[in-house]
């Protein structure tokens, strides 16, 4: 087991190095750039050359990359070109917001998706099943930004159930401990702040959860249908076991194997979905930071760090998924 983890971590390092090179070259070849953004279109060529040199962008790309990697190893990602703050600070302010949103979305997707998928399978061909299938098709096909604006319009303009944007009501102060506002409120016993943060969280989380929810329902349904036909479920019935024992111990535990894999793969969808969702609800997380860093003049240092971070999250989540797989299925452990 330990050897597997070590090997996977080494793979992770290689992946990240390769990815960082790709991002570096890709970003540098995008049209426009920080120099143009900082100086405006009408700057003289002399001033441009001066700033380009000052930022170090005149050097060969390999040299730039080498210097970048040298600093990254020490944990220094440079300073944001837009704000001048260290990139690590900029990101650590935005990161918890996105994680909070993504976690909430995943809780909704799994918490609702697994039971729905199970019920649809159990009642295959009945109206609940047909309704679920139709619903998931809709959920997969509907664009996030459209759903986001739709929900926002209905629930914040027509019916004033939820706040339209942000993570907290303006004027309400909370103590920042972890950056997860709902959790912070609980830790510092500022329960009103916690409730307010949760209230702000619901609509964005639902928006972001739609696609993973639809996927998880479908995977769970298909997987439960497979397991229901297995001989060991018949054996469990022949033993006269109670429904809930058969459901929990014999059906779900086997049926969840593919679902767990899906959860890992959906992390990617969540990260990209977060960009759009955060834009709609002005969430102020990594997604907002990405869009701002691109449109606000190619903030190379911030963008590089964010994309690396996103890749790191994706790979680590999938590593955890693989490890939990071995935990759930003893047949995987032997290898």
Which residues contribute to the site for other proteins (CB under 8 A)?
A: 230-232, 234-242, 245, 249-250, 253-254, 328-331, 334
Residue among 219 and 307 whose Cβ is closer to other proteins: 219
Residue among 53 and 249 whose Cβ is closer to other proteins: 249
Least separation in angstroms between residue 122's CB and other proteins is 11
Give me 27's structure tokens: 């970003």
Residue among 159 and 334 whose Cβ is closer to other proteins: 334
CB-CB contact of 43 with 37 (8 Å): no
Least separation in angstroms between residue 215's CB and other proteins is 23
Residue among 208 and 236 whose Cβ is closer to other proteins: 236
Least separation in angstroms between residue 221's CB and other proteins is 18
Least separation in angstroms between residue 52's CB and other proteins is 60
> Which class for 288: exposed (0-12), middle (13-18), buried (19 or more C-beta within 10 A)?
buried
Alpha helices in the chain (DSSP H): 2-28, 34-39, 45-55, 61-73, 87-122, 127-141, 144-152, 181-187, 191-228, 231-238, 243-245, 253-281, 286-295, 300-328, 330-333
Residue among 26 and 232 whose Cβ is closer to other proteins: 232
Least separation in angstroms between residue 253's CB and other proteins is 6
**Rounded Cα gap, residues 178 and 200, in angstroms:** 18
> Which class for 175: exposed (0-12), middle (13-18), buried (19 or more C-beta within 10 A)?
exposed
């Amino acid at each position: 087991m330990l050897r597997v983890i070590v090997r996977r971590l080494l793979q992770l390092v290689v992946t990240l190095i390769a990815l960082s090179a790709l991002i570096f070259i890709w970003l540098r070849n995008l049209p426009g750039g920080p120099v143009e953004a900082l100086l405006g279109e009408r700057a003289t060529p002399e001033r441009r050359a001066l700033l380009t040199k000052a930022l170090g962008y005149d050097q060969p790309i390999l040299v730039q990359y080498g210097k970048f990697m040298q600093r990254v190893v020490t944990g220094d990602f440079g300073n944001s070109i837009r704000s001048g703050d260290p990139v690590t600070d900029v990101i650590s302010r935005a990161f918890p917001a996105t994680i909070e949103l993504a976690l909430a979305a995943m809780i909704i997707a799994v918490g609702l998706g697994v039971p729905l998928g199970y019920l649809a399978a159990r009642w295959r061909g009945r109206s609940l099943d047909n309704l679920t299938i139709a619903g998931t098709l809709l959920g997969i096909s509907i664009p996030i930004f459209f759903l986001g604006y739709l929900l926002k319009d209905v629930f914040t303009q027509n019916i004033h159930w939820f706040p339209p944007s942000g993570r907290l009501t303006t004027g309400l102060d909370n103590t920042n401990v972890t950056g997860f506002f709902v959790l912070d409120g609980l830790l510092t016993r500022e329960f009103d702040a916690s409730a307010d943060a949760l209230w702000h969280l619901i609509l964005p989380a639902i928006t972001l959860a739609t696609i993973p929810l639809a996927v998880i329902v479908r995977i769970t349904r298909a997987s439960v249908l497979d397991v229901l036909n297995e001989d060991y479920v018949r054996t469990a019935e022949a033993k006269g076991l109670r429904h809930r024992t058969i459901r929990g111990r014999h059906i779900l535990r086997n049926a969840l194997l593919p679902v767990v894999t899906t959860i890992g793969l959906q992390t990617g969808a969540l990260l990209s979905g977060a960009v759009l969702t955060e834009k709609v609800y002005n969430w102020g997380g990594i997604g907002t930071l990405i869009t701002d860093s691109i449109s606000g003049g190619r903030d190379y240092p911030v963008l590089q760090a964010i994309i690396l971070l996103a890749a790191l999250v994706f790979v680590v989540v999938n590593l955890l998924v693989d490890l939990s797989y071995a935990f759930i299925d003893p047949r995987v452990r032997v290898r």
